[in-house]
Structure 1
Amino acid sequence: MSKILVTGATGNVGRQLVSQLGEGGLDVRALARDPGRAALPVETVRGDLTAPETLEPALRDVESVFLLWPAFTADGADQVVTAIAKHARRVVLLSATGADAPESHYHELERLVRHSGLGWTFLRPAGFAVNTLLWADQVRRGVVRWPFGRAARSLIHERDIAAVAAHVLTSAGHNGAAYVLTGPDRLTQAEQVRVIGEAIGREVRWEEQPPEEAREQLTAVWGAPAFVESALRTWESFVSAPEVVTDTVRRLLGRPALTFRQWAEDHAADFS
């Protein structure tokens, strides 16, 4: 049986993917900086994508790799892709919808994978529903203050991203494909806040924040000014040109993508 290596295995998507593959009886190995603390139900080995020299043991006997890049730049990615190509035959890269833009680090990641000699599939999700957990403290106070409340997003449940990744890793016919993954419909950011409030049984209102104020706060939290600038531009663009909605999840999995309301209900405890 071919072995699958899952990087980013302790994150929102990776943990779901490890569980789904493990439940399917597949031969899965998880990569973690601290295997002892990872608490994963599969073989877990020590390794760090930011230190490519640590990857050799994790890649032994591996045929397929799920690659989730951990940084806001592609620095060092060439060494990681080279290491993967020495051992594996294919890679499924968790990319992003903006990967076609040359300034995106995902653009460079995809370029490296395309030229690696590996079989490849790119998963390009829209916004992650789980990123709205950034609002958790504000939700508890009953008011979310954030910019661009009218930005319409097609946020996707991390469980759906993992399910598509599991399908692609375990079935044929996906080499050379770039799949755009979204939720089944759009909600504005203000509507997302309302839905979260309904899921936790508490009224939560939206308060529009000036982008300049948000820029300062997010830069302090993320420490990546270029990424903050890109995020603000993207959110602003979704006010006049709502985020795309695709049926890729339905086509690949044979069921509709999970709604944002389902995601909010699944994560109600995280906001309470």
Structure 2
Amino acid sequence: MSILVTGARGKVGRAVIGRLHSAGLTVRAASADPAALTVPDGIEVAELALGRPEGFGAALRGVRQVFLYPEPAGIHELVKAAEAAGVEHVVLLSSSSVLGPDAENDPLAGHSLQVERALACSGLTCTFLRPDAFASNSLGWARPISRSMPIRLAYPEAHIAPIHPEDIADIAVEALTGTSLTGRSVTLTGPESLSFREQLAVLAETLGREIPVEKISRAEAERQMADYMPGPMIYSLLNLWEAADRGPAAIADTTHTLLGRPARTFRQWARENAAAFIQR
């Protein structure tokens, strides 16, 4: 049995590949640009570009399970190719945003929701993993922190429960190799609710220096984010953070509840990634 891992250049995809390979399982790493992949020796690579369905058959040949990143382009053709190839199970890295109001029109949720719906209408057994905010989203602060600049936020008290990407990988591997998650949809978070200000305090303690936090207006935040993000995404994110400003984030499933092992904390992620916040 071969397991196809899409998004093989991503943090979670690479971690899933490494765990499956270490367990002695046959893994095929897929990317739109397979020549750019760096994978352990013995792992087959395949080209899979969702906008080019003519390559789906070769990528899926001999595959029984797929770890799938959510990309709606070509998803219906991919589903048909997977069914024709005899794929039995798809584990989708979706998003908790699909559970929000008006998710189909939300730029944060739309991609994942389209893929979930296409899979749900197929004859494939599917597991939907719906992580909330990644701890690694904090890397968005790396540049100003490394330059001793203040972090300017419209909603510094907004709470999230950031999940360590390695925990997502652990849960994905369990979904691919065990049966406890087969056919389920699970919302994933980290083990604790932290405001943005509290996350920055953890980073400051880890780095051994102060990180100033400056509260700004929503309009200022919109102008700041417009340098690197499209308008609809900015609007959606700010709405999300405004809602999260009202209190602690809910804790959903973690590696503790699903796998019986401690969940990695944001503090652990900060220690592991401290170098990213130091200017070189």
Q: TM-score, structure 1 length as denominator?
A: 0.92
Is the CA contact (8 Å cut-off) linking 1:219 and 1:228 kept in structure 2?
A: yes
Pick one of 141, 145, 168 that aligns with 1:139.
Answer: 145
Does residue 46 of the first structure (1) align with residue 52 of the second (2)? no
Aligned to 1:155, the other structure's residue is in SS state coil
Map of 1:30 onto structure 2: 29
1:192-221 alpha-carbon deviations (Å, 9 max, x no partner):
111112222222121123222322333431
2:121 maps to 1:115:
yes
* Equivalent residue in structure 1 for 2:79, among 81, 88, 98: 81
| Cα displacement (A) at 1:75 | 4.2
Q: Alignment length, in residue pairs?
A: 267
Of the structure 1 ranges 47-56 and 118-127, higher mean CA displacement relative to structure 2 is found in 47-56
Residue equivalent to 1:159: 166
Equivalent runs, 1:65-104 vs 2, <5 Å? 65-70=66-71, 74-87=72-85, 88-100=87-99, 101-103=103-105, 104=109
Gaps of 5+ in 1: none
Deviating runs (4+, > 4 A) in structure 1? none
Q: What is the DSSP-based 3-state SS (H/G/I as helix, E as strand, rest coil) of the residue aligned with 2:130? A: strand
Q: Distance in 1 between matches of 2:44 and 2:95?
A: 28
The CA distance in 1 between the partners of 2:84 and 2:228, in whole Å, is 37
CA RMSD of aligned residues (A): 1.7
**% identity of equivalent residues:** 39
Deviation of 1:188 after TM superposition, in Å, equals: 0.3
Shift of 1:60: 0.8
Distance in 1 (CA, whole Å) between partners of 2:83 and 2:237 is: 32
The answer to whether 1:259 aligns with 2:265 is yes
- Write the distance in 2 (CA, Å) between the matches of 1:228 and 1:52: 32
Which residue identity does 2:194 align to in structure 1?
A: L
For residue 162 of structure 1, report the CA deviation from its aligned partner: 0.6
Deviates more, 1:194-203 or 1:100-109: 100-109
Aligned counterpart for 1:242 among listed residues 248, 252, 262: 248
Alpha carbons of structure 1 residues 136 and 50: separation in structure 2 relative to 1, 3 Å: farther
What secondary structure, in the 3-state scheme, does the structure 1 residue paired with 2:227 have? helix
Give the corresponding residue for 1:271: 277
For 1:130, the equivalent position in structure 2 comes to: 136
Q: Is the 8 Å Cα contact of residues 215 and 228 (structure 1) preserved in structure 2?
A: yes
Q: Distance in 2 between matches of 1:159 and 1:31?
A: 20
Indicate the residue corresponding to 1:171 in structure 2: 178
**Matched residue SS, 1:221:** coil
Q: Is the 8 A contact 1:49 1:69 kept in 2?
A: no
Determine if contact 2:190/2:254 at 8 Å carries over to the other structure.
Answer: no
2:7 pairs with 1:8: yes
Structure 2, unmatched stretches of 5+, are none
